[in-house]
Amino acid sequence: MKKREALSPVTYLIMTAVLMASVLICVCIGSVNLPIGDTARALLDGIISLISGKELPRGGSHAIILFSRLPRVLCVALTGASLSLCGAAMQGLLRNPLADGSTLGVSSGASLGAVVAIACGITLPGLAGVGTMVTAILFAFLSLGLILLLSYRIDRNMSTNTIILMGVVFSMFATSIISLITVFSQEKVKTITFWTMGSLANTNYVNVLTILFAFIICAAVLFCCSRELNAFAIGEENARHIGVNVKRVKLIVLITVSALIGVCVSVGGTIGFVGLIIPHMTRKLFGPNHKKLLPAVVFFGATFLLFADLVSRTLLRPLELPVGVVTSIIGTVVFIFIFARKGAK
């Protein structure tokens, strides 16, 4: 009678294979299409060089694959996985399928940080783009602190509704400040506008390591909270009755999600709909149990964003679209389709 509560090893194997294949395809396809054999060989050489410390073979497409396309593709996969994971956790915690990582307003805070950094030209010596990333992460945490502090001052119980309300209000405030800065930014308007649309172009291994580090820690924390997220998804009162420390779990999940979202926004800007649509679709396949849902959204989110990014850089080649635009368009269509089907049923 007892049914498996976690995903089966075969499911993991299939999802890993699909993700690996997607990574390979996305590295192959670009402004210049590369043969799959060359790409696989370059990736293998890269791994061997990393392990043994041997120098990479010169010439060929190694440089393009390993230093241009691979870091971007890895960043995209990690961002997709992170955004989806945050979305799934928030949808469970808030018992709301329309929630995602940005519901709390932290992504707007991170965006504000990045826009401030771009407008003021904040940089770190020798590390291009890192100034924007660090400022965005800093603003993400400051925003979270402010939202939680205000929520606590208004409602000592820190009910979910109060936190969401504060998040929405803060988000509006941050967006208006971003608009204000954009108006006065003159020559940097284009950079700011493109950044706020969400793009993972020009990402490097520093970005990869930053997201990877944040992802490993945050995913571990959220996976540990799977059972609690199930309880919250059934109902906060019910969670309290069965013995969940609702206040502590809520804070842990909110802080973790905010941290991960902050890092993602700092690297890739605001990429909408991934955290909303992927958990929704994955729940249709695997059910709402977070022991299955959380690992599954990691794979689905990574794969989805890889292909969205592929579309963004190949659809109007050589012109590149911001990936946030592509995810929003796909997300809207999928969302309408899901709700139309639900309505028809």
Partner 1 sequence: MLKAENITVRYDGNTVLDNVSFILPKGSWLMVAGPNGAGKSTLARALAQGVPYSGKVIYDGVDIASLKPAQLARKLGMLEQSNHLGYSFTVSEIVRLGRYAYRSSPFSKADSDDESLIEKALEYTGLTQLAERSVLTLSGGELQRVFLAQLFAQDPEILILDEPTNHLDLVYQKGVLDLVRQWVKGTGRSVISVVHDLSLARAYGDKALLLSQGKAVAEGAPCEVFCDENLNAVYGMDVRGFLTSLLDQWK
Contact between 289 and partner 1 by CB under 8 A: the answer reads yes
For partner 1, the binding residue among 80, 268, 272, 288 (CB under 8 A) is: 288
**Per CB under 8 A, which region of 45-53, 78-86, 105-113, 222-230 contacts partner 1?**
222-230
Q: Are 139 and 116 in contact (CB under 8 A)?
A: yes
Contact between 161 and partner 1 by CB under 8 A: the answer reads no
CB of 261 to partner 1, least distance (A): 22
> For residue 340, which amino acid is it?
A
Contact between 96 and partner 1 by CB under 8 A: the answer reads yes
Q: Of 3 and 58, which CB lies nearer to partner 1 in the complex structure?
A: 3
Report the largest interatomic distance among the alpha carbons of the chain, rounded to a whole angstrom: 66
**Per CB under 8 A, which region of 76-84, 207-215, 281-289, 298-306 contacts partner 1?**
281-289
Q: Of 91 and 132, which CB lies nearer to partner 1 in the complex structure?
A: 91
Q: Of 63 and 154, which CB lies nearer to partner 1 in the complex structure?
A: 154
Site string for partner 1, 38-67 (x = CB under 8 A): ------------------------------
Q: Of 31 and 157, which CB lies nearer to partner 1 in the complex structure?
A: 157
**Per CB under 8 A, which region of 41-49, 207-215, 228-236, 266-274 contacts partner 1?**
228-236
For partner 1, the binding residue among 112, 130, 244, 254 (CB under 8 A) is: 244
For partner 1, the binding residue among 141, 155, 227, 330 (CB under 8 A) is: 227
For partner 1, the binding residue among 31, 287, 315, 340 (CB under 8 A) is: 287
Q: Residue 124 forms beta bridges with which residues?
A: 127
Q: Of 38 and 155, which CB lies nearer to partner 1 in the complex structure?
A: 155
For partner 1, the binding residue among 16, 31, 176, 238 (CB under 8 A) is: 238
Kindly report the three-state secondary structure assignment for every residue of the chain. CCCCCCCCHHHHHHHHHHHHHHHHHHHHCCCCCCCHHHHHHHHHHHHHHHHHCCCCCCCCCHHHHHHHHHHHHHHHHHHHHHHHHHHHHHHHHCCCCCCCCCCCCHHHHHHHHHHHHHHHCCCECCECCHHHHHHHHHHHHHHHHHHHHHHHHHCCCCCHHHHHHHHHHHHHHHHHHHHHHHHCCHHHHHHHHHHHHCCCCCCCHHHHHHHHHHHHHHHHHHHHCHHHHHHHHHCHHHHHHCCCCHHHHHHHHHHHHHHHHHHHHHHHCCCCCHHHHHHHHHHHHHCCCHHHHHHHHHHHHHHHHHHHHHHHHHCCCCCCCCHHHHHHHHHHHHHHHHHHHHHHC
For partner 1, the binding residue among 134, 231, 260, 302 (CB under 8 A) is: 231
CB of 298 to partner 1, least distance (A): 17
Task: List residues binding partner 1 (CB under 8 A).
Answer: 1-3, 5, 95-97, 157, 224-227, 230-231, 233-235, 237-238, 240-246, 283, 287-289
